[in-house]
Each structure stands twice: as structure tokens, then as C-alpha cells.
């Protein structure tokens, strides 16, 4: 079916602004992705999947201006032993990065494998993204596959001694960046992947994750503090038998951030957890869109999303669990909650369950509300000033999402970030 004219025009206008990186083993995948974009068209307000989030500024040819947010925070995971890979407005910074050598992993840069004729990532690049286009189209991810300038391609074969950390520096106020990562965790291997920073004025990130049988991937992302930036990120993960994937994203500030996750549990006894904590004040719009497919027996999935909103901030949650007929003994859990610190903010939630197996446990809940006055009074009656008591209750509200992070030091540093955010708003 032909695209509506407006969509067709918007898509062509955007496509004409990009040049495909040439040559190498990924060319076929990039071309296929380009034709996906042309067929699907880029998102518009009319699309059901974009009902709560306006895609205009993500689709338009140029990135809207986003001033670089100056602050004197030490980078969030700075104290940890880690292998850092730094991108400044999407450009790899070899001086700021560590040597890409670490026992148990093979790290390449996407920009460097482009001219190789053969590379293991060829079997994954654009493949998981393409799988994730059905039943809901995610054209911004296909756009990314076609045009991404760089990224990391990581193959985990052992249990590396420290996390790999992708550090995204935002430096130019009109930077428009597309990065594409491919992570393959081999059988029984294990990695912790950190991501830090706002990356660009407009950031389109696509991550394809393949966790083989018995593999484990922990992923913790902190999207930086820039107020004016925009980000549309996609994560496509495929999980094998007895594998584990746990992902947490912290979103602090940002005029528009949308995080889409498409997780497929394809092997029995796999575990997928995805969590997010977002705090927004004023001109803030954050969207968590999640699609989890259970296609194997005895798998567990958890979605835990917490939004703290004030001064007209908006939070969006679209979360779906699809349980296929064979996926018996599925244990699915989904919670999305918003704490509104005033009357001006809004939370839009669309939880969905679609279950075709008959022996499953799926629970879901979504709430939005104000701070609990009874609890507030209790704390105040013990001498804790109202503002401090409000912060304490707000952190308690966020705690369930942060608790999804297994590494206690990382969780503690996330909590510190949240405390700082709250204390700046006293």
C-alpha cells in the first residue's frame, strides 16, 4: 500500500539528508533497511504507536538546537573500573577511550568493519531490528540501520573482569547522531554494559542484542542531564535458553526522549527484565515503549517503570506482553507508575497483554498519583521537614525500579543522581 502523501514527503525529505556509509559486508543490510524505511515511512502523529509522543522533531531533516548543558557533576560511573569507549557527538574519540582490548570480549567499531568483507556481526546487523518491525513498525530504527555512522560491535566469549562503558559526550548544539551497536553474548558468557551521557542534540540509537544459551547481559544506561536534547533509542534483544538480560535506564531531563525495547524470549527458562526511572521537570517528555514476546516455556519477564513528574512534565508508557501459544509457564510482570508532584503534569499509560497460552501468570498494573499525605505527615511528625520528607518518599517510589539493578555500587550511584536532582529542586 502506498504511503499517505504527507508521510511520503516527510520520509523522502529526511532520507535525502543522509548518505549511506559505503562498502563492506553490511551494505546489503543497510540497503534492506533503507527499503524498509521507504516502505514503512517515518512516524507521524497519525500513527497509533505515536499517539502520545509527537515524532515531528525526531523525523525532520535537521536536529533542533539543543544547548550543551554545563554542569560540574563527576561522570556517573567514574569511580568504577571499566573499559571506556568515548563518542563525542557520535564521533569516536580515541584519546579519551581506553584500548579496546579486554579478555573475554572482542570489540570492534562499526565504522571499521564496514570495509571488511566478512565479519561475524553480519548475521545480526539489521536482522534483529528487521524482526522487530512486526507487528509494530519502528521506522526510526530502520533509518538507523541504513545510515548509522558508527557504534560498537561486541562479541562476548567469556566473563570480562570489568564493564564496558559507552560514554556519549554532547558538544555541538546542532549535532544529529546515529549510532548502532551489536552485542552478541556467546553461550555462558557474561557482560555488564554501561552507557552514559546525552550523546547529541538529537540522538538516534539502535542496539541489537543477541544473548545465546546461558549467557548474561546486564545493561545500565544513564542518559545524561541535557534539557533540550532529543533521543529516540531502540533496543532489540533476542534471548536463548536459560539466558538473562537485565536492562535499566535512568532518564533525567530532556525535552523529548523515547526508549523503545523489543525483547524476544526464544529459549526456555530465559529471563528478561527491563526497568526505567525517569524524573522530569517542566519541558520534559519521556516515553517508554516496550514489547516483550514470550515464545518459549517457563520464561520470566519483568517491566518496572517509574516516572516522577512536575511542572507540566509528561510521561508515557506503552508496554506489551505477548505470550505465544507454546509459551506455557510464562511468568510476566509489568508495572508502570507515575508520581505527580503537582497538578500540571501528566502520565499516559497503555499497558497491554495478549496471551495465547493457558498456563501462565501475568500481572500488570499502572498507577498515577500524588505524594501520600498520610506518609508525609508521619515523617513530618517525626521532625523531618516537609521537603526532605517529600524527597524521601519520592526516592522510595523510584526504589522498585532502581532495585532491578543487581550491582549495588551502580544502583547507589543512580540513587545519588536522583537525590541530587531532587535537592536541586528544593
Partner 1 sequence: MLNINNLHVRLEDEDKIILKGVNLTVEAGKVHAIMGPNGSGKSTLSYVLAGKGGYEVTEGSATLDGQDLLEQDAEERAAAGLFLAFQYPVEIPGVGNMTFLRTAVNAQRKARGENEMSAAEFLKEVRAKAKSLKINADMLKRPVNVGFSGGEKKRNEILQMAMLQPKMCILDETDSGLDVDAMKLVAEGVNALRDENRGFLVITHYQRLLDHIKPDVVHIMADGRIIKTGGPELALEVENNGYADILAEEA
- Contacting residues toward partner 1, per CB under 8 A: 373-375, 377-386, 388-389, 392-393, 395-400
- Least distance to partner 1 from the beta carbon of 379, Å? 7
- Least distance to partner 1 from the beta carbon of 384, Å? 5
What is the longest distance spanned by two Cα atoms in the chain?
Answer: 70
Quick one: 95 exposed, middle or buried, by C-beta within 10 A (0-12, 13-18, 19+)? exposed
Contact 149, 203 (CB under 8 A): no
Contact 360, 326 (CB under 8 A): no
- Least distance to partner 1 from the beta carbon of 390, Å? 12
Distance CA 164, CA 287 (A): 26
- Least distance to partner 1 from the beta carbon of 369, Å? 14
- Least distance to partner 1 from the beta carbon of 338, Å? 15
Complex with partner 1: residue 356 or 378, whichever CB lies closer: 378
- Least distance to partner 1 from the beta carbon of 418, Å? 12
Distance CA 224, CA 74 (A): 11
Q: At 261, list the grid cell.
A: 525495547
- Least distance to partner 1 from the beta carbon of 310, Å? 19
Q: At 292, list the grid cell.
A: 516483550
163 phi, psi to nearest 5 deg: -70, 155
- Least distance to partner 1 from the beta carbon of 421, Å? 17
Identify the H or E element spanning 128: helix 127-131
Distance CA 22, CA 254 (A): 33
Complex with partner 1: residue 154 or 401, whichever CB lies closer: 401
Say whether 271 sits in a helix, a strand or coil. Answer: strand
Using only C-alpha atoms, the chain has a radius of gyration, in whole angstroms, of: 21
As a whole number of Å, the end-to-end CA separation of the chain is 54
Complex with partner 1: residue 27 or 423, whichever CB lies closer: 423
Identify the H or E element spanning 219: strand 216-222
Complex with partner 1: residue 193 or 389, whichever CB lies closer: 389
Complex with partner 1: residue 298 or 380, whichever CB lies closer: 380
Complex with partner 1: residue 172 or 375, whichever CB lies closer: 375
Q: Is the dihedral of CA 273, 287, 266, 299 positive or negative?
A: positive
What is the bridge-based pairing of β-strands 361-369 and 244-252? unpaired
Complex with partner 1: residue 6 or 412, whichever CB lies closer: 412
Complex with partner 1: residue 68 or 375, whichever CB lies closer: 375
386-402 vs 373-380: helix axis angle to the nearest 10? 120
Complex with partner 1: residue 382 or 426, whichever CB lies closer: 382
- Least distance to partner 1 from the beta carbon of 319, Å? 22
Amino acid at each position: 500500500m502506498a504511503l499517505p502523501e504527507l508521510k511520503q514527503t516527510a520520509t523522502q525529505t529526511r532520507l535525502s539528508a543522509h548518505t549511506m556509509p559505503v562498502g563492506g559486508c553490511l551494505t546489503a543490510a543497510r540497503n534492506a533497511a533503507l527499503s524498509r524505511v521507504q516502505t514503512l515511512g517515518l512516524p507521524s502523529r497519525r500513527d497509533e504507536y505515536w499517539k502520545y509522543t509527537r515524532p515531528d522533531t525526531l523525523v525532520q531533516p535537521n536536529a533542533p538546537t539543543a544547548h550543551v548543558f554545563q554542569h560540574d557533576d563527576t561522570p556517573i560511573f567514574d569511580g568504577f573500573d571499566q573499559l571506556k569507549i568515548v563518542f563525542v557527538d557520535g564521533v569516536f574519540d580515541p584519546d579519551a577511550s581506553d584500548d579496546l582490548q579486554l579478555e573475554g570480549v572482542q570489540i570492534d567499531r562499526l565504522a571499521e568493519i564496514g570495509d571488511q568483507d566478512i565479519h561475524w556481526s553480519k548475521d545480526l546487523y539489521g536482522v534483529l531490528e528487521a524482526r522487530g518491525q512486526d507487528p509494530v513498525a519502528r521506522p526510526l530504527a530502520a533509518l538507523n540501520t541504513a545510515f548509522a555512522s558508527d557504534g560498537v560491535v561486541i562479541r562476548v566469549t567469556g566473563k570480562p573482569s570489568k564493564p564496558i562503558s559507552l560514554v556519549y559526550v554532547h558538544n555541538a548544539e546542532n549535532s544529529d547522531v546515529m549510532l548502532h551497536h551489536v552485542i552478541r553474548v556467546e553461550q555462558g558468557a557474561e557482560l555488564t554494559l554501561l552507557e552514559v551521557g546525552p550523546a547529541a542534540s538529537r540522538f538516534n540509537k539502535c542496539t541489537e542484542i543477541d544473548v545465546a544459551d546461558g549467557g548474561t547481559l546486564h545493561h545500565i544506561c544513564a542518559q545524561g542531564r541535557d534539557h533540550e536534547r532529543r533521543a529516540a533509542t531502540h533496543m532489540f534483544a533476542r534471548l536463548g535458553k536459560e539466558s538473562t538480560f537485565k536492562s535499566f535506564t535512568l532518564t533525567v531531563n530532556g525535552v523529548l526522549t523515547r526508549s523503545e525495547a523489543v525483547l524476544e524470549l526464544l529459549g526456555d527458562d530465559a529471563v528478561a527484565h527491563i526497568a526505567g526511572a525517569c524524573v522530569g521537570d517542566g519541558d520534559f517528555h519521556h516515553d517508554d515503549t516496550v514489547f516483550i514476546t514470550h515464545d518459549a516455556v517457563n520464561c520470566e519477564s519483568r517491566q518496572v517503570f517509574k516516572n516522577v513528574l512536575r511542572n507540566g512534565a509528561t510521561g508515557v508508557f506503552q508496554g506489551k506482553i505477548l505470550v505465544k501459544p507454546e509459551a506455557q509457564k510464562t511468568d510476566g510482570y509489568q508495572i508502570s507508575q507515575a508520581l505527580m508532584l503537582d497538578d500540571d503534569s501528566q502520565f499516559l499509560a497503555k499497558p497491554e497483554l495478549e496471551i495465547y497460552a493457558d498456563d501462565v501468570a501475568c500481572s500488570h498494573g499502572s498507577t498515577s498519583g500524588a505524594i501520600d499525605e498520610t506518609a508525609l505527615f508521619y515523617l513530618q511528625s517525626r521532625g523531618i521537614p516537609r521537603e526532605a520528607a517529600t524527597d524521601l518518599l519520592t526516592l522510595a517510589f523510584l526504589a522498585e525500579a532502581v532495585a532491578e539493578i543487581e550491582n549495588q555500587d551502580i544502583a547507589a550511584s543512580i540513587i545519588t543522581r536522583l537525590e541530587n536532582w531532587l535537592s536541586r529542586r528544593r
